[in-house]
Amino acid sequence: MPDAIKKDISHIIKKASENFSGIRWEKPGKIHVTPKFIGSINDKTRDDILGIVKKIAVKTRTIKVSFSHIDAFPDFRKPRVLVLRLNKSQQLQDLY
């Protein structure tokens, strides 16, 4: 994710933290896009996946995305993670 986008999200987090107490916000450096959550894997599998993803990334042009809505994981009653969901994109679907 480009630094400019992380900076914009960081500003949103800063404003939100002024209005909501008791929430621990992540540092901007940890903001990322998760195309597919894999779960717990061993080191070899992780290295294999990273190798494949790096080969794909070299061949992939920049993908423009837009956010559709805010979601919470596991749910809004007891959220552990706030998520900015992306609008559907053929480019993302092709990459997936």
The per-residue pLDDT for range 26-84, each reduced to its tens digit, is 777 788 888 788 889 999 999 999 999 899 888 888 888 888 998 888 888 888 888 88
Q: Tell me, what's the pLDDT at 37?
A: 83
pTM reported for the whole predicted model: 0.60
CA angle at 32 for the pair 51 and 96, rounded to the nearest 5° = 50
| pLDDT given for residue 48 in this prediction | 96
Q: Which is nearest to 33 in space by CA: 55, 1, 58?
A: 1
In this predicted structure, the answer to whether residue 95 has a pLDDT above a threshold of 80 is no
Cβ burial 21-60 (10 Å sphere, 16+ → b, else e): eeeeeeebeeeeeeeeeeeeeeeeeeeeeeeeeeeeeeee
| DSSP 8-state code for residue 66 | -
